[in-house]
């Protein structure tokens, strides 16, 4: 989050040398004015106690509110509170943002409540630059009650182990959820499910609605169903990080995704179910069928071979057509692999063409053409082993016979043409 803002968060106020004119007579009924004064005193009292117990950050707005506690009842501006100007001058919104946001704040008559909210956010550590996007995203946060909503939420989140900086990050991502007290119970459910606060934030960056969806009607039924299908909480967390909307979608649709995975040959309880759901999530049956047909035509697979490939590597359904075409041209036309072999070892399609497949193939080809291999290694084994093992087994033993091999291999892995390989090198990269 930004540390500085191009617009000031707080307005400047006269010094003690400036003569301040007395306030105009109260225009509110006595009972209403007294009630407003009591509310202001409670907010100021809470802000001061919050600052003294939870850290630094006595902002100018804190001082403004505490100084105003001794003043008389607030009288609304006879000409009306200029919400749009307040959003620009105090909150740092652009004029277009302020015009849009002010439509949701037309009921505000004074800056008292927004001032209290801004002071509270400042106490959490949000800077002026942070406040602008927060208010633009959820203008109604400025209408939240500090003592009845925001403070209890912070207390509840602190009780779950979140620090002030954690809470500030949460506000920045989901200001709408922060002004609802239900956020505490929802985080109490999500934190153990996703394993850590950072994992939860990763989801919120992709789907900020997660904290607004009904737990009992949507999220919990989806989680229970996925557990019934054999997924553990760790698998569910990994799945949702890759497909953030999965938990918040209609439970019937989640059931349809599982059914789709089953038609592709990945049953419930399979270790591949998580990846299959990740592949078919929010894809229509028509798109899946079209991609399977493309795979069959591109790799010259039969129906059965295409089914084997998809079952073993469901993510192939998410590969772009251009990516698949290039891999087919290289593996079938250049390396000379049989289509059926690729269907049974489809993980090779997940490997980088320019960063791994080509460089390792050319090392093997170079060694074979120069009589440096005593036995012909499997192409699939050569491309699947780790980098360390590949270098130890196929490059290091040939330092004397092929002194440039290591350097050329490193160059090839960067997608550049090596100088000492004696065959054609293709520089096209994905």
DSSP of 65-78, one letter per residue? HHHHTTS------T
Q: Which long-range contacts (CB under 8 A, 24 or more apart) does 224-229 make?
A: 225/251, 225/254, 225/255, 225/258, 226/254, 228/268, 229/258, 229/268, 229/269, 229/273
- pTM > 0.75: yes or no: no
Structure tokens at 259: 């059914």
Q: Please tell me the predicted confidence (pLDDT) of residue 419.
A: 57
Place of tokens 């070892």: 345
Q: For residues 268 and 274, what is the distance between their CA atoms, to the nearest angstrom?
A: 10
Q: Please tell me the predicted confidence (pLDDT) of residue 421.
A: 59
Q: Please tell me the predicted confidence (pLDDT) of residue 236.
A: 94
Q: Taking Cα atoms as reference points, which of 311, 243, 247 lies closest to residue 283?
A: 243
Q: For residues 206 and 126, what is the distance between their CA atoms, to the nearest angstrom?
A: 21
Q: Please tell me the predicted confidence (pLDDT) of residue 375.
A: 83
Domain extent listing, the chain: 1-12+29-172, 351-430
Q: Please tell me the predicted confidence (pLDDT) of residue 94.
A: 93
Q: Please tell me the predicted confidence (pLDDT) of residue 73.
A: 41
| pLDDT tens-place values along the chain, 430 residues long | 444 444 443 333 344 444 444 444 444 444 444 445 445 555 545 544 444 444 444 444 444 444 444 433 444 444 468 999 999 999 999 999 999 999 999 888 899 999 999 999 999 999 888 899 999 999 999 999 999 999 999 999 999 999 999 999 999 988 888 888 899 999 999 999 999 999 999 989 888 888 888 999 999 999 999 999 999 999 999 999 899 899 999 999 999 999 999 999 999 999 999 999 999 999 999 999 999 999 999 999 999 999 999 999 999 999 999 999 999 999 999 999 999 999 999 999 999 999 999 999 999 999 998 888 888 889 999 999 999 999 999 999 998 888 889 999 999 998 776 655 544 444 343 3
Q: Please tell me the predicted confidence (pLDDT) of residue 34.
A: 42
Looking at residue 18, the DSSP 8-state letter turns out to be S
Q: Is the separation of the CB atoms in 174 and 209 below 8 Å?
A: no
């Amino acid at each position: 989050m930004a540390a500085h803002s191009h617009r000031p968060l707080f307005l400047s106020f006269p010094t003690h040398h400036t003569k301040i004119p007395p306030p105009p007579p109260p225009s509110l009924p006595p009972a209403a004015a007294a009630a407003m004064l009591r509310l202001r005193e409670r907010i100021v009292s809470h802000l001061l106690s919050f600052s003294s117990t939870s850290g630094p950050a006595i902002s100018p707005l804190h001082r403004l509110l505490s100084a105003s506690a001794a003043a008389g009842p607030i009288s609304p501006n006879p000409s009306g509170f200029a919400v749009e100007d307040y959003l620009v001058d105090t909150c740092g919104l652009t004029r277009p943002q302020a015009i849009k946001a002010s439509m949701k704040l037309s009921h505000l008559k004074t800056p008292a409540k927004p001032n209290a909210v801004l002071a509270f956010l400042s106490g959490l550590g949000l800077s002026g630059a942070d406040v602008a996007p927060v208010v633009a995203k959820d203008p109604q946060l400025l209408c939240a009650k500090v003592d009845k909503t925001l403070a209890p939420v912070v207390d509840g989140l602190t009780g779950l182990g979140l620090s002030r900086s954690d809470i500030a990050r949460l506000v920045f991502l989901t200001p709408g959820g922060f002004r609802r007290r239900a956020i505490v119970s929802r985080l109490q459910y999500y934190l153990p499910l996703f394993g850590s606060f950072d994992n939860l934030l990763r989801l919120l960056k992709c789907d900020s609605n997660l904290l607004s969806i009904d737990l009992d009607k949507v999220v919990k039924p989806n989680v229970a169903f996925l557990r019934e299908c054999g997924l553990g909480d760790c698998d569910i967390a990994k799945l949702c990080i890759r497909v953030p909307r999965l938990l918040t979608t209609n439970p019937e649709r989640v059931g349809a995704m599982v059914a789709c995975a089953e038609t592709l040959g990945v049953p419930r309880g399979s270790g591949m179910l998580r990846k299959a759901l990740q592949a078919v999530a929010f894809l229509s049956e028509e798109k899946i069928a079209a991609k399977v047909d493309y795979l069959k035509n591109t790799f010259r697979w039969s129906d059965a071979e295409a089914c084997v490939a998809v079952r073993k590597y469901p993510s192939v359904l998410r590969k772009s057509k251009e990516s698949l075409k290039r891999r087919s041209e290289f593996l079938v036309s250049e390396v000379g692999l049989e289509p059926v072999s690729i269907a049974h070892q489809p993980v090779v399609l997940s490997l980088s063409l320019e960063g791994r497949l080509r460089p390792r193939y050319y090392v093997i080809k170079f060694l074979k053409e120069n009589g440096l291999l005593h036995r012909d290694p499997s192409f699939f084994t050569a491309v699947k082993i780790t980098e360390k093992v590949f270098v130890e087994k196929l490059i290091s033993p040939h330092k004397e016979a092929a002194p440039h091999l290591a350097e050329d291999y490193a160059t090839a892995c960067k997608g550049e043409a090596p100088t000492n390989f004696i065959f054609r090198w293709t520089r096209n990269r994905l």
